[in-house]
Amino acid sequence: MSRLSDILRDERGAGAAEFALVLPLFIILVFGTINGSIMYSAQNQMHYAAQRAARCKAVDVTSACPDIDAYAKTMYNGPSLAGLAFTATDDATCGWRVTGTGQFELMSGFQSTSVSISADSCYPKI
């Protein structure tokens, strides 16, 4: 009986057990934060590309950007997005409006979630 009580009171290895419980959650948190930051970088790059494309469409006097989708995709320097597309419309309230859309694969833990990302920019006609 005293041998059993000695085993139950023994605290060696408790730190290793706690570490084994906390480590997977910490790894998921770290990699989730990194992947979320990459997603926000894609959002920022998409806004930049839409802004540049709207400006190009508004001040274009030499027809240098007839294909807004191709031009905006050259301005986009973020991670690859599924279905990345840019469209330009002539908006009466703001001039040229360029809208970009795409799908980002967000790895959250052990599963992947598709997140829609969009950007909108407006530039007055000159």
Domain boundaries, the chain: 2-123
Residue 78, φ and ψ in degrees, nearest 5: -90, -170
pTM (2 d.p.): 0.79
How many angstroms separate the CA atoms of 62 and 64, rounded? 5
**Per-residue pLDDT, 61:** 67
Task: Work out the burial of residue 100: count CB atoms within 10 Å of its CB; fewer than 13 is exposed, 13-18 middle, 19 or more buried.
Answer: buried
Q: Which token pair is 73?
A: 């995709």
Which pLDDT score is estimated for 1?
A: 67
Contacts of residue 31, defined as CB under 8 A and 6 or more positions apart, other chains included, come to: 107
Low-confidence ranges of the chain (pLDDT < 50): none
The helix (H) or strand (E) run that includes residue 113 is strand 111-123
